[in-house]
Structure 1
Amino acid sequence: MRDGSLLTPHLARVATPAAHGGPLWRADGTVLVTGGLGVLGRLLVRHVVVSHGVRHVVAVSRSGASGEGIAAFVEELRAEGAELRVVTGDAADRAVLEDALASIPAEHPLTAVVHMAGVLDDGVLGSLTPERVDRVLRPKVDAAWHLHELTAGSDVPLFVFSSVSSVLGTAGQGSYAAANAFVDALVQHRRGAGAPGVSMGWGLWGAKSGLTGGLGETDMRRIARSGVQPLSADQGLALFDLARATDDPVVFPLHLDTAALSGGDTENIPPLLRGLARTPVRRATVRTEDEPGGDSLATRLARVPEAEQDAQLLTLVRSHVAAVLGYDDPRTVGERRAFVEIGFDSLRALQLRNRLNGATGLRLPATLVFDHPTPDALRGYLRTLLLPDSPSARDAEGGAAADAVAPDPGPGQSKGDEAIEQLRSAASLEEVFDFIDDQLGE
């Protein structure tokens, strides 16, 4: 809320600069890179040497020059006519950065800083300890702050490798999202003070790095469903050059599958990305089961035997549950498994409610999955609404609710309190099921 108005943030495309303005690499200067000797770091260092003619690079690395393949990389750059000097140390240690900057000779002054250091330690909020949070924040936040202070008052640009998690967020990445949100805000603050810099909130790179090397197939499928596709090395480096030349303090270099964003259920598109879909969200409505000019779902159900009605309604519910969860096969949705046990949170509950509104023509409550906590219970509830005159309609809801997996509220606990407690554990349960999927190779 700002000045009495409600504002909704969204991502929008940045116009490609007609010419690369902003800070330019100086061949006679020195570029300082933190965390720049991993897979992505070597791509970037090689790029500034080969494509931008930089002859002097200083890299701050924990492993130092003794790291695997570093000696060969130094020789590779030397063959290109460039000098790579490796400083062993922690970029979050201000003294290490001060020494690295002090060692840069006056004849090759510092002309740019690229802050790439970062660490992951994913976990749901309840599992995060101060030590785990500090492990993530130190290399990203502390190092960025020190670099900002040490280059304040100069015309040296600070280019920070951030992450799109700072605005989109993903389950289990609370500390990493917070770290990147900090550096985004820091660069905005820096630009407001008149110092140059850009924070680049990257999506996924195709090249496996220390941060992404542990991603399994389940993780990749989840990322793909968000519309974020892996960047090739060439795409990433080209976006780096464009981001470097932009006037915006914070940009998000992404490879977005906008066709996928607009082609699916728009309720599943993160609100921040909806403006990037090729079709406006209001036109991309949820598909309804009622065919144009045809009979309603209730009319079609009334024509079939009672047992077939239950089967069709259960198939309808499982299909939309699978769509919300991103499952390929609705049959993997257990009809008597509680929604909170299979990864439903408040947002997914609303997504399912909205899908079923479109599929049935009903106006269902937002508490739908908590009032009817299993697919079978929900099937029974829909039956009572769509076929109220059916002899077994009332029994269908009651019987399904009686078979629900969710326990009764304890003493002094309401159904609403119970739903909140279930939601608190949903993310950790989702992680468990994703782990099981990985182990089973699904």
Structure 2
Amino acid sequence: MITPDAAPLSSGGDALVDAALRFAAGEPVDFCALFPEGGEVVDLPTSPLDRRRFWIDAADAVSPEHSPHLVSPSRAGLAHALAGVDEGARVAELSAFLREQVGEMLHLHPPDVPDDVEWVGLGIDSLRATELSNRVRAALGLNIPSKTVFEHATLRKLAAHLAGLPISPGSRASGPPGEASAPDSFEEGLV
């Protein structure tokens, strides 16, 4: 097993290169001795065609407790962000919110959620449309039926529609949550 006091294999004496050479040769390597500060497991892409970068540059690393992207905006926070701004800024904020929600629902990285692909093309069926309308209701207090998601069939169109609706930080949707999202008829629920 390689330890920090093992004889180096490389001419430069780099411990990581030595560990890599020993690992490639089939020798056991004590990674805990090489990285006493620990590390974390990273999910890597399963397809060689996935070209997203998963490595973190040390200068760009942000600890989880300080990362603004790890916490979804609260209902009051998003409603406050939308209050008193022009329609273009509202559309941008709502697009970011919808992109995050749809990405989470479809297990996609939010930047990978396109603006102009129809929901059906992304795999959003009536159940997911209901889930999305419930998420909008929870975050904004807007009582939109799931058919509204399909009437505004892309992220860009739905964000523009929502931006035109009155949203106030203290607003509450009326009626029970299931009532707001249920399809108007059996046929509308079958998409």
TM-score where L is the length of structure 2: 0.47
Q: Of the two structures, which has the highest relative contact order with CA contacts closer than 8 Å and spacing of 6 or more?
A: 2
TM-score (norm 1): 0.22
Higher strand share: 1
Highest Rg: 1 or 2? 1
